[in-house]
Structure 1
């Protein structure tokens, strides 16, 4: 029989320590192609630390398992993880301010396999057509909302199998919050898995197929966005 292949992101028993502080304590989750998985919880619950560890920006503890498809990522650097098709949009709209929007996209495309780079940039612009009008402008001259779109576009230009988004609606006007939700849905419709960290429960509910509630570095509840008891569960997690 032919060997079976695994797609998507798998995280098992993820641990992150900052000195004596156990920021992430045994998180396990999976992100399948075309599905959005949300992480919600209070500030300090371990949401961003989870993404940073998966992305290779900080070390994870012994026994942690991170795999993308059939490839283990534990000993793989952050740039290598991008080339293995793990996209990551950090909180705070990190763009190359002095480069044009087009140059930002082409920098992102360097993570894609060479034959796929032009198609990956074109695909990113299909998802984010609003970038067409600002392609020649320096990214640092754009509004905060536009810069967020550039950051997402740059990650998409890397041709990711899974895209991680850390607080993508933070500081955005309501109309742009709705736009981000639409973008997440469109990305998933293209078969890309999304791991979404969100402070706004209503955004996570609207975008995610599955939600994990984090409290003190642990997943304390897993459900779907239409769970009628979710708001009370999240509220209790924020208070404890």
Structure 2
């Protein structure tokens, strides 16, 4: 579904990615892991062209290059994106936020309705008339995921989905990821929490200093504690 080969990317003249390789198959959950600042978010942004310049390598989605497309064109191709900073429309209600995505008339897409995302996140239904700007960080995260689903994605990108959330709310977000996995939603999740990786991932790609340094199954990842020590623990 997604193939990233030798990806290089930069903010202005500052190169931040210098050899990222990632693949994701249909129905698979792939976790990108690594310490803060190693290039996980930049990889996500490169896929959807979010304020970053791709300077080398390939990004192929269903065999077609995404290079040169504008962000909304990537989304229309079937890539849903939930950025780390959520980016809800603060002055709009939950319902108004969910009405922003344009429907995609594609026969090969899983179509999500507002009622279905309310079933996934019941809190959003309870707060459907509340302004997004007064909601908690966890509620805004749920809203951002729900809004991305309404773009009818074939692949969903989740960048640090429970960063900064209270433990209870973070667990609810993980439960939602598992529910989407059961639905067969393909996902790439930027993550550091070992519990989330263990529960959600099929495969793991470790990023360090802007490059992929390890890739394999989640079982292979946990079979080698040196990977965790070297690339996740604070040194």
Is the counterpart of residue 208 in structure 1 residue 201 in structure 2?
yes
- Shifted more, 134-143 versus 8-17: the winner is 8-17
Whether contact under 8 Å (2:159, 2:189) holds in the other structure is yes
Is the counterpart of residue 60 in structure 1 residue 54 in structure 2?
yes
* 2:163 counterpart (160, 170, 179): 170
What's the secondary structure of 2:55's corresponding residue?
coil
Deviations 1:132-178 (A, max 9, x none): 11111111111111111001111111111001011111111112222
Whether contact under 8 Å (2:110, 2:153) holds in the other structure is no
Whether contact under 8 Å (2:94, 2:143) holds in the other structure is yes
Structure 1 pair 123–237 and aligned structure 2 pair: CA distance change class (3 A): same
Work out the CA distance in 1 between the residues paired with 2:90 and 2:212. Answer: 36
Is the counterpart of residue 110 in structure 1 residue 96 in structure 2?
no
Work out the CA distance in 1 between the residues paired with 2:134 and 2:191. Answer: 26
Whether contact under 8 Å (1:213, 1:234) holds in the other structure is no
User: 1:4 maps to which residue?
Assistant: none
**TM-score of the superposed pair, with normalisation by structure 2:** 0.89
Q: Structure 1 segments of 4 or more deviating over 4 A?
A: 114-119
**TM-score of the superposed pair, with normalisation by structure 1:** 0.87
Structure 2 unaligned segments of length 5 or more: list them.
none
Aligned positions, number? 231
Whether contact under 8 Å (1:206, 1:225) holds in the other structure is no
* Mapping for residues 148-159 of structure 1, pairs under 5 Å: 148-159=141-152
Deviations 1:83-132 (A, max 9, x none): 1111111112221011010111111x316339989844333233223311
Structure 1 pair 203–81 and aligned structure 2 pair: CA distance change class (3 A): same
* Mapping for residues 24-39 of structure 1, pairs under 5 Å: 24-39=17-32
Structure 1 pair 15–111 and aligned structure 2 pair: CA distance change class (3 A): farther
Structure 1 pair 93–18 and aligned structure 2 pair: CA distance change class (3 A): closer
Structure 1 unaligned segments of length 5 or more: list them.
1-7
